[in-house]
A = this chain, B = another copy of it.
Amino acid sequence: MLNEDRLFPLESRSRGIARALYDKVRHLPIVSPHGHTDPKWYALNEPFPDPAQLFVTPDHYVFRMLCSQGIALTDLGVPRVDGGPTEEDGRKIWRLFARNYHLFRGTPSRLWLDHSFEAVFGLRERLSAKTADHFYDHISECLGKPEFRPRALFERFNIEVIATTESALDDLRWHDMIRRSGWKGRVVTAYRPDSVVDPEFENFRENIERFGELAGTDATSWHGYLEAHRIRRAFFKNYGATSSDHGHATARTENLSEAEAASLFAKALAGRCSAEEADAFRGHMLTEMARMSLEDGLVLQIHPGSWRNHSVEVLRRHGRDKGFDIPTRTDYVRALKPLLDAVGMRPELTVIAFTLDETSYSRELAPLAGAYPALKLGPAWWFFDSAEGMRRYRELTTETAGFYNTVGFNDDTRAFCSIPARHDVARRVDCAYLATLVADGRLDEDEAGEVAIDLAYRLAKQAYRL
C-alpha cells in the first residue's frame, strides 16, 4: 500500500537524488527529544488495549476531524468530565472510524495511520467500512502478542532515545521503575513546570506548596521558590532530563528586577494577580529558567501560540486536550527581547522556539535564530508536522537561518505507533527538499548527504544534548 517513493519530488533526476539521500538516513536510529508517550508503558510493558483505544480514542488529530463532520465525541469513546456514558465497544468505535476514513484524505494523519497499519501490523489494504472488521481483528490479535508490547515495539522502532514530558510535580515513579527494571531502552524525562509557573493554573497555591514539599524547601518565598526549581530540575536531570518545556499562550518574556518578581510571586500566591500580572510573571519565569539552564545545562523549549480549549462546550463536557486548541497570531520580536537581552548572546545556552504561526518563520524566527547564538528553531510543529508544513518550514527558514540553527525533528506525539511514520515523513520531506537544492544547483550532493544525516539524527542529539 505504501508507495516506496512517497513525498519525493516528481521530476526524475531530483527524485533519484532524493532516493539516494533517503537511503543514507532511512535506517538511522530514532532520536525523539520531545514527546508525550506515557512512561508507564515502558515501565509496566503491558499490552496495549484494543485498536480503538490505540488509534482513535486518545488521538486528538483523529477524533477532532471526525467531530468536525458531526460525529459525537462520546460515540468515539472520548471520556466525559461528568463520568457519564460514552461508547465502550471498541469494535463499534472502530467501524465508525473506518466508515469515515475518507475524511483523512490528504492529511498527515492518513499518512501516519497507513504507515502504522502496514509497517507495524502488516496490513496492506486500505481501511474502509468493508475492511474495518478485518483490521480490528488483526490488530487485536497482534496486540496480544509479546512482540507488540511497548518495549518490543520500542526496540523494533529502533528508538535510540525518547523523551517523555512530566509535570514539575510528578514523582517520576515510572521513570524510576524503568531504570530499576534493568531494561536497556533509553527513556528520559523533561521538566514541564507550567503548573508551578503559571499563576492562573488551577490550584496554583496548592501546587507551590506541593512543589516545596517535593523539593524539601519552602517554595512560598521567592528564593525558596527558585531553589525548589533548582532542586526539581536536578531531580529530573537525574532521570535523564536534558530539557525543560514551556507551553505558554504567547511568547512573552520579561526580565524583571528581583523585587518586582518577588512581589508578583507573592501576589500570585495570594491569588491576587491580574491577567496582565500573571502574564508578566510567566514571561519572567522563562528568563529565570534560562538563567538556570546556564547553570545546569537543560535546554529551554518555548511552545507558544495555542489558544487552549477554544470551545467552552467541549471543555465542559470532555475536559482539556480534546482537539480544540487553535493556533493564534504570535509575535516573537518584541516578546523574546527581554530574554534575549538577558542571555541571548550566550553560546553555551540553547533556547528552542516553536511556532504555530507560520508567518513568523521567515519574518521573525529565522532572522532571530540566524543572529542570536542561544536561539534555535524547533521543527514544524503540531498542525505543521506534515508534508506541506515541513516543506514550507524549510523553504521559509533555510535561506536566513540555514540548517544549523534548526534542531532536527521532534515527533511530539502520544501516538506510539505513529513514531516511525512521523520520523519517516520528516526524513523524506527533508531529503526531497535537499534533492531540489542539489538538482537546481544550490547545493552539492556530498553536502546534501551530510545535511540529510544532520537533520535526521545528529542535530537532535546535539541540540538536546542527548
A residues adjacent to B (C-beta < 8 A): 2-3, 5-11, 13-14, 64-65, 67-70, 102-108, 110-111, 126, 307, 310-314, 323-329, 331, 333-334, 337, 340-341, 344-345, 347, 356-359, 362-364, 366-373, 375, 383-384, 386-389, 395-396, 398-405, 436-437, 439-444, 447, 450-451
Question: Which residues from chain B contact A373 at a C-beta distance below 8 Å?
Answer: 67-70
Which among B7, B9, B11, B313 is the interface contact of A345 at CB below 8 angstroms? Answer: B313
Question: Which residues from chain B contact A102 at a C-beta distance below 8 Å?
Answer: 404, 447, 450
Which among B68, B341, B364, B405 is the interface contact of A371 at CB below 8 angstroms? Answer: B68
Distance (Å) between the CB of A113 and the closest chain B CB? 12
Distance (Å) between the CB of A431 and the closest chain B CB? 13
Given A3-B440, A103-B402, output 20 extra A-B contacts at Cβ < 8 Å.
A6-B441, A10-B14, A64-B370, A68-B375, A68-B401, A69-B347, A69-B405, A105-B402, A105-B451, A106-B442, A108-B399, A311-B345, A325-B367, A326-B333, A326-B364, A326-B368, A328-B364, A329-B359, A357-B363, A366-B383
Q: A326-B367, A383-B400, A404-B102 are in contact. Are A440 and B311 (CB under 8 A)?
A: no
Distance (Å) between the CB of A150 and the closest chain B CB? 29
Question: Which residues from chain B contact A396 at a C-beta distance below 8 Å?
Answer: 388
Closest B residue to A6 by beta carbon equals B441
Question: Which residues from chain B contact A6 at a C-beta distance below 8 Å?
Answer: 440-442
Which among B3, B103, B105, B399 is the interface contact of A106 at CB below 8 angstroms? Answer: B399
Which among B65, B357, B364, B372 is the interface contact of A370 at CB below 8 angstroms? Answer: B65
Which among B8, B371, B399 is the interface contact of A326 at CB below 8 angstroms? Answer: B371
Which among B312, B386, B399 is the interface contact of A387 at CB below 8 angstroms? Answer: B399
Assembly CA distance A438 to B405 (angstroms): 33
Assembly CA distance A357 to B359 (angstroms): 8
Assembly CA distance A110 to B442 (angstroms): 8
Closest B residue to A111 by beta carbon equals B442
Question: Which residues from chain B contact A7 at a C-beta distance below 8 Å?
Answer: 440-442
Question: Which residues from chain B contact A366 at a C-beta distance below 8 Å?
Answer: 383
Question: Which residues from chain B contact A402 at a C-beta distance below 8 Å?
Answer: 65, 103-107
Interchain CB contact under 8 A, B340 and A311: yes
Most buried by B among A65, A313, A362, A444: A362
> How many copies make up the complex?
3
Q: A68-B405, A311-B345 are in contact. Are A328 and B363 (CB under 8 A)?
A: yes
Assembly CA distance A242 to B375 (angstroms): 41
Q: A10-B436, A441-B5 are in contact. Are A383 and B404 (CB under 8 A)?
A: no
The 3 residue pairs across chains A and B that have the minimum distance between CB atoms = A3-B441, A6-B441, A70-B347
Assembly CA distance A366 to B310 (angstroms): 14
Closest B residue to A8 by beta carbon equals B440
Interchain CB contact under 8 A, A69 and B333: no
Assembly CA distance A9 to B359 (angstroms): 26
Distance (Å) between the CB of A87 and the closest chain B CB? 17
Interchain CB contact under 8 A, B371 and A383: no
Which among B69, B371, B388, B451 is the interface contact of A395 at CB below 8 angstroms? Answer: B388
Closest B residue to A450 by beta carbon equals B102
Interchain CB contact under 8 A, A106 and B364: no
Distance (Å) between the CB of A327 and the closest chain B CB? 5
Interchain CB contact under 8 A, A367 and B327: yes
Interchain CB contact under 8 A, A106 and B443: yes
Question: Which residues from chain B contact A371 at a C-beta distance below 8 Å?
Answer: 64, 67-68, 310-311, 323-324, 326
Distance (Å) between the CB of A48 and the closest chain B CB? 26
Question: Which residues from chain B contact A358 at a C-beta distance below 8 Å?
Answer: 359, 362-363
Interchain CB contact under 8 A, A69 and B326: no
Distance (Å) between the CB of A352 and the closest chain B CB? 14
Question: Which residues from chain B contact A68 at a C-beta distance below 8 Å?
Answer: 369-373, 375, 401, 405
Closest B residue to A434 by beta carbon equals B106
Assembly CA distance A341 to B153 (angstroms): 42
Closest B residue to A401 by beta carbon equals B68
